[in-house]
Amino acid sequence: MKKYFFLLSLLIIICSSYAQENTTSTYYLIRHAEKDRSDTTNKNPSLTENGQQRAEKWSQLFEQFQIDAVYSTNYKRTQNTALPTAKKNNLTIKTYHPFKIDMKQFLKDTKGTSVLIVGHSNTTPSFVNKLIGKEVYKDIDDTNNANLYIVTIKGEQISHVLVKIK
More confident residue, 2 or 92: 92
Q: CA-CA distance, 137 to 148, in Å (whole number)?
A: 12
The domain that holds 134 is classified in CATH as 3.40.50.1240
pLDDT at 23: 86
Q: Specify whether the backbone of 31 is left (phi greater than 0), alpha (psi in -120 to 50) or beta.
A: beta
Domain ranges, residue 93: 2-35+44-164
21-67 confidence digits (pLDDT tens): 468 999 999 999 999 999 999 999 999 999 999 999 999 999 988 99
Q: CA-CA distance, 110 to 27, in Å (whole number)?
A: 9
Could you give the number of structural domains in the chain?
A: 1
pLDDT at 8: 57
pLDDT at 166: 79
67-108 confidence digits (pLDDT tens): 999 999 999 999 999 999 999 999 999 999 999 999 999 999
